[in-house]
Structure 1
Amino acid sequence: MELAKYYPEEQFFHKTGAEWTPMTGPCLNEKIGISGQLPLKPVWNNLIVELRSSTYRYALEELTKLNLENHFLQFNFSRYNSGQRGTIHTDPPFASLVQIFYFNEEWNRDWGGCLRILKDENPQSVFRDILPLLGSSIIILPSENSWHTVTPVIPEVNRTRLTFVLIFFQQSAEAVLYDIFKQQKLLFYKLD
C-alpha cells in the first residue's frame, strides 16, 4: 500500500518523554500550529482530505452514535522502535473519538507492540491485544474506563510499529492543546 511506503521518515520524529516512549511525529491540527509546507507525500494529503470530509464524519457519527459537528480534528504520527512501549492511560476527556490506523505490512504478536485494551487500570486486566497490521484500525471512545496501552516492542525486533491517529476534539480543547504545543515544541502544522 502506498501509504505505508510513504509513511513520514524518521527525521520528522522526536522524543517527548523517556527513552522507552514512542517517537512523536508531525501533528496536523485544524485549529493550532505553524503554517507551512507539510512534510507529507501527496498520498497522505489525499487521505487527510478524505478523513476531514463530511462524508467520513457522518459515517463515524452513524457508527458511534456521537454528534461530531462541533469538533475539530487532529492527526498524529507515532513510531515505536525496539524497546519502546506505551503507558497505561485513558484519552483526555476533551477528546470524543480516537481512531488509530496501522501501517505495518507484517507483525508478529511475539514482537510486542500490540494495542492492549484493558478492563481497568490494572496492567494484568487484559481484554484484548490488537496487532498493528496494515489495513486495520480501531476506534476508541474516550471515557474514564477506556484504559489501554501499547505492549513493549521487544529489543530483538528490528521493526518499527507505525501508527496514524485521528482525534476529534471538543472545541474546549483548543487552549489546552496550544499549551502543549508551546511547552513541548511539538511539530504542529495547521491544516487549511
Structure 2
Amino acid sequence: MRIMSALVAGLACLLAVTACGGSGDDSSSGPSRPVPKVVPPGPFVGECGHVTDDEVRDRVGLGQVSRVFKNAVGCNWQAAGVGSASVTFASYRGSPIDRERAWVTTQGRPPEVISVGGRPGFAALDPSGQVCDLAVQLDDDFFEWSTSYGMYGTISGNPCDRSRALAELTVQRLG
C-alpha cells in the first residue's frame, strides 16, 4: 500500500510540475525591460593620470607639493599648510561627463567647451580665478584635473592653463 501511495504522490507531483510549464510563447507576458547598455571601458588613464609627482610640481608651479592621497581612481597633491594649493586627478568609468559639467555649473564655475588632444571636454574656472576643473571625455568615461590655488592664492596665472598641461600629458600617455 505504501508503494501505491508513493506512486500516486509522485505522479501527482509530476503532473503539477508539467502543468506549470507554458507554451514557450512569452509575447503575451507584458512589456520587457530594455537590455542594459554594455560598453567596453575607454582607454586606460593610468595611475594618477600617467603623471609623476615631479611633473605635477613642474607643470602647476606649486613648489614643494606632495602627493597625499592615491587610490585606484584618483590622486591628490597638496602644498604645506591649511588652505594651501592643491591638485587632484580623478578618473570616472562609465560616468557621464555632463553630470560633472552640471555640478561645476552649480558651484558657480561656468564650463567652457575645450578639446585636449582631439578629445572633447570642458574647463570651468571659478569667478575668483583660484580653482579650475578640467574634464576630458574618453568614450563613455572621462577624467578630470582640478587645480586650486588655495585660500591665499599666491600663485599667479590661470589654474586652467595648469590643469590643461596635466591633461595633455594624460592624453598623450593613454593606454
Pick the structure with more helix per residue. Answer: 2
Instruction: Flag whether TM exceeds 0.5 (same fold).
Output: no
TM-score, length-scaled by structure 1: 0.28
TM-score, length-scaled by structure 2: 0.30
The structure, 1 or 2, with the larger RCO (C-alpha pairs under 8 Å, 6+ apart) is: 1
